[in-house]
Amino acid sequence: MQSKLGTSRKGNCPKCGDNKWATIVGHFEHSYEHDEAPMTINEEWFLLFCPACKKAYFASKPTYSQVVPVGDDEGDEAEYFWEGEAQQWPKPEKWKRPTWLPVLQTKSAQLHSLFLELFAALDEDLKVLAAIGMRTAFECTWGLLSLPPTYTFEGKLDALLNAGKIGRHEYDSLSALTDAGNASAHRGWVPSEEELEEMMSILTAFVQRSIMTGAVKLDPPPKPPRPPKQPKKSY
């Protein structure tokens, strides 16, 4: 069989999205018999490299085949094929990550790790767990702001407002976020996709403004010196 290495194949790039051309840089194929059912499983694994974002990822799509008797005559058989479920690692990111996410690790490894889990839950469509995770991420962010200890979410929001860390509008937004997280944690409320998007935009705005602002040193060029004033001519 001709080697597939170096040839191109379309894949679902974790960064660039589905149906993107990639180069096959690794390939493995094998077949084996199913433990119980009379069928053959054929697995073909690809290590793909996306030239656009320079990321590599594994992808496979197993196929199954089964030989079954057909017709009335003994020995008449036909082989049927069907496709199995595609597998991939890393999985495509359905939710766009904020540009500051890698830098968050330098501010708080715990909050960074929480955000990675949160995005993994969102990508997997685990809505209740994602909503609870957002509430936890809010609490973790709050803990980084050196405010006097308080145990209720309401108390935490009041402390933020009183310390001038947030305004009234953000207070209301964060209050809605923690209420939603509570509803998922205690009553199993399942937010919709749109509600999750709204909750994430409230959370990321809060983290960006309270933790990430100032992470990059602004270095504008100095003001050019003013030209010396010309003495007024007297005639």
Instruction: Name which of 22 and 174 has its Cβ closer to Zn ion.
Output: 22
Query: Cα separation of 2 and 156, whole Å?
Result: 64
Radius of gyration of the chain (CA): 28
Query: Cβ of residue 58: shortest distance to Zn ion, in angstroms?
Result: 14
Query: Cα separation of 114 and 218, whole Å?
Result: 28
Q: Contact residues for Zn ion (CB under 5 A)?
A: 13, 15-16, 50, 52-53
Instruction: Name which of 56 and 120 has its Cβ closer to Zn ion.
Output: 56
Query: Cα separation of 47 and 60, whole Å?
Result: 9
Query: Cβ of residue 218: shortest distance to Zn ion, in angstroms?
Result: 31
Instruction: Name which of 49 and 64 has its Cβ closer to Zn ion.
Output: 49
Query: Cβ of residue 14: shortest distance to Zn ion, in angstroms?
Result: 7
Query: Cα separation of 56 and 149, whole Å?
Result: 45
Q: Are 199 and 180 in contact (CB under 8 A)?
A: yes
Query: Cβ of residue 49: shortest distance to Zn ion, in angstroms?
Result: 9
Candidates 67, 61, 55; CA nearest to 23 is 55
Q: Give buried/exposed letters for 153-170 (b at 16+ CB in 10 A, else e).
A: beebbebbeeeebbeeeb
Amino acid at the residue 108: S
Instruction: Name which of 53 and 68 has its Cβ closer to Zn ion.
Output: 53
Instruction: Name which of 53 and 215 has its Cβ closer to Zn ion.
Output: 53
Q: The tokens of 2 are what?
A: 């001709």
Instruction: Name which of 50 and 134 has its Cβ closer to Zn ion.
Output: 50
Query: Cβ of residue 11: shortest distance to Zn ion, in angstroms?
Result: 9
Query: Cβ of residue 13: shortest distance to Zn ion, in angstroms?
Result: 3
